[in-house]
Amino acid sequence: MKKKAENKPIAIGARLKRCPEIHTMGFRPNFSNYSPQEQELLFSASKIYYPTAFYADLFNAMGKETFPSYHTYKFAQDKIKQTALFQMLGLPHPRTKVFYGPRQKKCILKEFDFPFIAKIPRGSARGVGVYLIQTAGDLGHYLSRRGPAYIQEYLPINRDMRIIVIGRQIVLGFWRIAGKGNFKTNLSQGGDISFDPLPQKALELALLTAEQCGWDDVGIDIIQSDNNLYVLEGNMKYGTKGFQKADIDYRRFLCRMILTNRV
């Protein structure tokens, strides 16, 4: 039985739990709670799949390869770090600035005209924590929360692109179309999916972004405004509704990629 497990790829997180060809151990914050046999499997594995954010750091420090990469975990749900990285790499990104503390926040209206976008910069997903700021009242309500203010120029669109990169290839891309009367395109916010062809330059930008940022399992969100493309963000916890609509079994697809050494 042990020999059979040793021949399987090793995972920690639950993403691959339903894939019998992969040995998923489950997350245990106390490493000592893994049995000696499990510890040996982790140490001897050439790669650990879905190590979780907790263990990704530790395996990276040990020089152990993981999928997703250490960098993928480091930037998950952190818009501030992502924006800084896009700016440092020269990737096209809407004009964005982060304001810290009461003194800096008083300068927002000196740098941005209404309307503009304000976001909760860390831990938010699925369109939650994204606000269209049109008045001083809107801004005051947003600033009533604690933490830094993440302010971004408003580029009027009614659709964006979600391009999913796994490993070094695009596995799915589609348009997300905003619902009537809503500026958000997120599927959880009433957006819809269209498989109309995406611009080739957007596909190339998604691959370039993933490669330069060191992300190997990510949904890249890209918008097109006035014939210009902009990277909005990378989503490491992307949903699978697009796969479902494309009639793709996401978990089996991912499992096949691992078993054929494509990631």
Condensed to tens digits (0 to 9), the pLDDT of residues 219-233 reads: 999 999 999 999 999
This prediction has a pTM of 0.92
Express each pLDDT in 43-100 by its tens digit: 999 999 999 999 999 999 999 999 999 999 999 999 999 999 999 999 999 999 999 9
The angle formed by the CA atoms of residues 13, 17 and 18, to the nearest 5 degrees, is 155
Q: Are residues 122 and 188 in the same domain?
A: no
Q: Are residues 173 and 251 in the same domain?
A: yes
Does 246 score more than 90 pLDDT?
A: yes
Q: Are residues 248 and 164 in the same domain?
A: yes
Say what the pLDDT of residue 1 is: 39
Say what the pLDDT of residue 26 is: 97
Contact 72, 214 (CB under 8 A): yes
Cα–Cα distance between 20 and 238 in angstroms, integer? Answer: 23
Give the residues across from 164 on adjacent strands.
172, 219
What type of residue is 5?
A
CA 201 to chain centre: 20
Express each pLDDT in 160-216 by its tens digit: 999 999 999 999 999 999 877 677 777 766 689 999 999 999 999 999 999 999 999
Tokens at 88, concatenated: 């440092």
The angle formed by the CA atoms of residues 135, 147 and 108, to the nearest 5 degrees, is 35
Question: How many domains does the chain divide into?
Answer: 3
The size of the chain, in residues, is 263
Q: Are residues 42 and 123 in the same domain?
A: no
If we measure between CA atoms, which residue out of 54, 26, 30 comes closest to residue 41? Answer: 26
Give the 3-state secondary structure of residue 24.
strand
* pLDDT > 90 in the chain, percent: 87
Count CB neighbours of 205 within 10 A: 20
Express each pLDDT in 117-173 by its tens digit: 999 998 766 657 899 999 999 999 999 998 999 999 999 998 999 999 999 999 999
Does 258 score more than 70 pLDDT?
A: yes
Range of the domain at 189: 159-259
> Does residue 185 belong to any structural domain of this protein?
yes
Domain boundary among 48, 67, 86: 67
Q: Are residues 24 and 107 in the same domain?
A: no
Q: Are residues 167 and 133 in the same domain?
A: no
The model's confidence at residue 4, banded by pLDDT at 50, 70 and 90, is: very low
Q: Are residues 170 and 143 in the same domain?
A: no
Cα–Cα distance between 59 and 43 in angstroms, integer? Answer: 9
Average pLDDT rounded to a whole number, residues 8-29: 95
> Does residue 80 belong to any structural domain of this protein?
no
> Does residue 176 belong to any structural domain of this protein?
yes
If we measure between CA atoms, which residue out of 183, 182, 178 comes closest to residue 193? Answer: 178
> Does residue 117 belong to any structural domain of this protein?
yes
Domain boundary among 85, 120, 153: 153
Q: Are residues 114 and 61 in the same domain?
A: no
Say what the pLDDT of residue 140 is: 97
Q: Are residues 136 and 197 in the same domain?
A: no
